[in-house]
Structure 1
Amino acid sequence: MSVVVLGVGLHPWGKWGKPFQEYGVAAARAALADAGLHWTDIQYVVGADTIRNGYPGFVAGATFAQALGWNGASIASCYAACASGAQALDIARARILAGLCDVALVVGADTTPKGFFKPVGGDRPDDRDWLRFRLLGATNPAYFALYARRRMARYGDTPADFAAVKVKNARAGARNPNARYRAEVTTEQVLTSPMVADPLRLMDICATSDGGAAVVLCSPAYARRHGGRQVTIAAVSTVTPTFPQADLDLPMIASETVPQPEHGFKTALIRAAYEEAGIGPEELSLAEVYDLSTALELDWCEDAGLCPRGEAAQLLRSGETALGGKRPVNPSGGLASFGEAIPAQALAQLCELTWQLRGTAGARQVDSARIGLAATQGLFGHGSAIIART
């Protein structure tokens, strides 16, 4: 049994400098209007938490419910790094499938600091993420650069291949009124932008942004009373890595007692979604994947089974993942055009899938879109894959 996406809404991404709840409320009102509902119709609210915005960010469900006006709805809040929005969605989906409510609102929003994200919560010497910042000085851009170097060493990818990802996504983002960056770029502009973490340059790396996203979910019976072209959630995967794999897809030393996992974390995450939905990658019409850097989008294409391992750059060069191609990747413009607003990101991906599957994505519309994948990866083994279909 599936649940139905009845309404979606976004607050445009940018650097607005306002409280995060303003973005969430704007997105929620847009989603309610899209669904044809009033706030008082909502029975359950789930907030995706933001950990950089004080106590209201840790209880996002209550924060959004209060800002919209107490209506007696049940609430929940959750944090799962960059997968927060997807896990919040899964909580609402489970509530509906259990028959405990008919209609739910899921909201995520963020106000972000300038520059890269720093660890939150003080000294945590048992946290590998904290350790890489504190002991190695390995901020996220340095982290992404290691992945890029690995592609160059293993598969022969070049900085020009990475730049081509940015060019592709910027072309799509230029057609998206909710994107922060709406200008097309050239390969030369990317390759001459300032070096940040070799081989990645400034335009290879996504920014930190403010923004909000919201989704109204409901049961099929509730949706039938509203008509229209229905988009359903066919799968939500939030699987964790399998020992001895960490939350990184790095090669492990296998032994008789500790075998190498068959697949890396991101691949296993997406395969679990395919299995739940009963589809394969060849059935996808489009994918929204987590392009924290240009090189990481290429990894995701392989993890999603869009091409064999090591062939993502070739797939990109073929035009298949561009708008107008066989299977566009990040037709929204991706993080390259939006930047990171952590609790809103997975929900924003689902908003894009919904518009595409409804056929209402305007200038970036994917022809005959039927099934879409949204995938994210967060810290400490958090990740998500969502499959939506008509």
Structure 2
Amino acid sequence: MTGDVAVLGAGMHPWGKWGRSFVEYGVTAARAALADAGLEWRDIGSVVGADTVRGGYPGYVAGATFAKALGWQGTRVTSVYAACASGAQAIATARAQILAGLADVVLVVGADAAPKGFFRPAGGDRPDDPDWLRFRVLGATNPTYFGLYARRRMAVHGDTLEDFAQVKVKNAALGARNPYARYRRAVTAEEVAASAVVADPLRLLDICATSDGGAALVLAGLDFARRHGAGDAVRIRAVSTVTPRFPNTVLDLPDIATDSAVAVPPTPETFRESIARAAYEEAGVGPEDLSLAEVYDLSTALELQWYEDLGLCGAGEAVKLLRDGSTAPGGRIPVNPSGGLASFGEAVPAQAIAQVCELTWQLRGSAGDRQVPGARVGMTVNQGLFGHGSAVVAVR
């Protein structure tokens, strides 16, 4: 397909709390991706950096920051910010440059050095910032609205605390096999239940942490890939960065009384469903074609919601997939074989790129003891604040 671009290289800096600059994490990931691609820094025609608002001025101009750190060589640079969707926006920008003929090969980099605890709005009091409004007006920090999602699933679909715990058990077992994960220890459902209550009904082990980390990709046009001897490389076939449709204008909370949908007939799909649909349509595939998916598991309950939003099952049927092992290794559609954010935590500009790194390794068949046998089509999804969609489909 004319919209395909090749993934020649994928690289990461391990997630953790290292206490160093995001630049170090991004450069490490970039050099790993270049080595994986068999290319030199001087071969890169463009750098697209995913921004981090926590990195001061260098974080706001991440493309140039990474280019400088790697060594000025005249490359084109772009910097992108889209909250949790920054990495996908960076991939979309790189792909557009390649398809437009502006560069043969593009380096995409995202990295973050996150503060301890849940994220706070950057820059002090900012009444135009949705995070600031949510925190100060609603009192709804991130764990609070994760808890709202969980309570809604329990009330509407009958999900249980035990179901949520099993999501963590699944992902922790996979993260234990991933050398880049921050948390590399299997946990039991009993350990999840015994962890501290953070936002009822969610426990500490139901919620992802904040982390340091970095991820990078080397993308290229198909002609360049063939000349480079990589004609069979993994290909990115679709990138969805859509926005919501009226009347679904509340982006971060469930459809409770604040949603404009109470006064207007609802649209046939939620924002997250529309993110997935746009990716499927562009790629020419459907849920039935997926070999695996990497989803944005800010909480255990939210992973279950993504099963339904991706069309892997009908509304309210996510726990059935979980309980029968369909989303576990060896199941019909393994979800988060990387270990997910449950094992990594959030390094915001890096996470959507890291998801595509995992797809790349899985579709190459090089994911070691996390490998999904015969993987041919993979999809990533997450959602950025203020209406930033994020989904990528990769094929082999």
TM-score by length of 1: 0.98
Partner of 1:273: 279
Contact 2:120 2:131 in 1 (8 A): no
Partner of 2:323: 317
Partner of 1:371: 377
Find the aligned partners of 1:239 and 1:253 in 2 and give their Cα distance: 20
Contact 2:8 2:225 in 1 (8 A): yes
Find the aligned partners of 2:29 and 2:91 in 1 and give their Cα distance: 15
Deviation at 1:383, TM superposition (A): 2.2
Partner of 2:138: 136
Q: What secondary structure, in the 3-state scheme, does the structure 2 residue paired with 1:240 have?
A: coil
Could you tell me which of 338, 345, 349 is aligned with 1:343?
349
Partner of 2:202: 200
Q: What secondary structure, in the 3-state scheme, does the structure 2 residue paired with 1:52 have?
A: helix
Could you tell me which of 248, 251, 255 is aligned with 1:250?
255
- 1:84-123 to 2 correspondences below 5 Å: 84-123=86-125
Find the aligned partners of 2:54 and 2:129 in 1 and give their Cα distance: 18
- 1:128-167 to 2 correspondences below 5 Å: 128-167=130-169
Partner of 1:295: 301
Find the aligned partners of 1:384 and 1:254 in 2 and give their Cα distance: 23
Letter in 2 for 1:283: D
Find the aligned partners of 2:133 and 2:224 in 1 and give their Cα distance: 48
Could you tell me which of 27, 40, 43 is aligned with 1:41?
43
Deviation at 1:255, TM superposition (A): 8.2
- Residues 273-319 of structure 1: CA distance to partner in whole angstroms, max 9, x if unpaired? 00000011000000000000000000001000001011101110010
Deviation at 1:36, TM superposition (A): 0.3
Equivalent pairs counted in the alignment come to 389
Deviation at 1:253, TM superposition (A): 5.5
Partner of 1:179: 181
The gaps in structure 1 that reach 5 residues or longer are none
Contact 1:45 1:106 in 2 (8 A): yes
Contact 1:353 1:373 in 2 (8 A): yes
Q: What secondary structure, in the 3-state scheme, does the structure 1 residue paired with 2:29 have?
A: helix
Find the aligned partners of 2:133 and 2:277 in 1 and give their Cα distance: 31
Letter in 1 for 2:288: E
- Residues 237-277 of structure 1: CA distance to partner in whole angstroms, max 9, x if unpaired? 00000011122452656589x43211000000100000000
Runs of 4+ aligned structure 1 residues displaced above 4 Å come to 251-256
Find the aligned partners of 2:6 and 2:72 in 1 and give their Cα distance: 25
Across the aligned residues of Structure 1 and Structure 2, the Cα RMSD in angstroms comes to 1.2
Find the aligned partners of 1:123 and 1:244 in 2 and give their Cα distance: 29
Contact 2:248 2:260 in 1 (8 A): no
Letter in 2 for 1:308: G
Contact 2:29 2:109 in 1 (8 A): yes
